[in-house]
Amino acid sequence: MPQTRYTEDHEYVHVDGDICTVGISDHAQTQLGDVVFVELPKPGAKVAKGSAVAVVESVKAASDVYTPVSGEVLEVNSAVESQPGLINEDSQGKGWLMKVRLADPSEIDGLMDEAAYQAFLATIA
């Protein structure tokens, strides 16, 4: 069964074996407001945990998206490039950004589970 983990920068990763689906959390999309533009990496790109891999622009601001895991970008969600509002509608479903083949499974251990992320959000509210 896939597990979901979060970063303090409000990215999420759905982990299913060695394939990770990466995007921004519902909290992040709420803070950004209406998303109007998304720039994604190219499939085949090698990414390192913590590096900026995408840009999400809203009517309020532009924000870098940092990858929670290292690996190779297998696929990007081209639907969010043509319909950036999908991120606002369903950030952790249809609004995913990219799929990465996980290079180091131990990186997942350093990320927050749902309960820890909700507790973290309570400290910044």
Full pLDDT tens readout for the chain, 125 residues: 679 999 999 999 999 999 999 999 999 999 999 999 999 999 999 999 999 999 999 999 999 999 999 999 999 999 999 999 999 999 999 999 999 999 999 999 999 999 999 999 999 97
Amino acid letter for position 72: E
Domains of the chain by start residue, with CATH: 3-110 (2.40.50.100)
Structure-token pair, residue 102: 């996980």
Can you give the pLDDT at residue 1? 62
pTM above 0.85, yes or no: yes
**Other Cβ atoms within 10 Å of 115 Cβ, number:** 8
Distance from C-alpha of 90 to C-alpha of 35, rounded to nearest angstrom: 12
Can you give the pLDDT at residue 2? 74
Residue 44 gets the label, from left (phi > 0), alpha (psi -120 to 50) or beta, of left
Compute, in degrees rounded to 10, the torsion defined by CA atoms 27, 31, 36, 39. -60
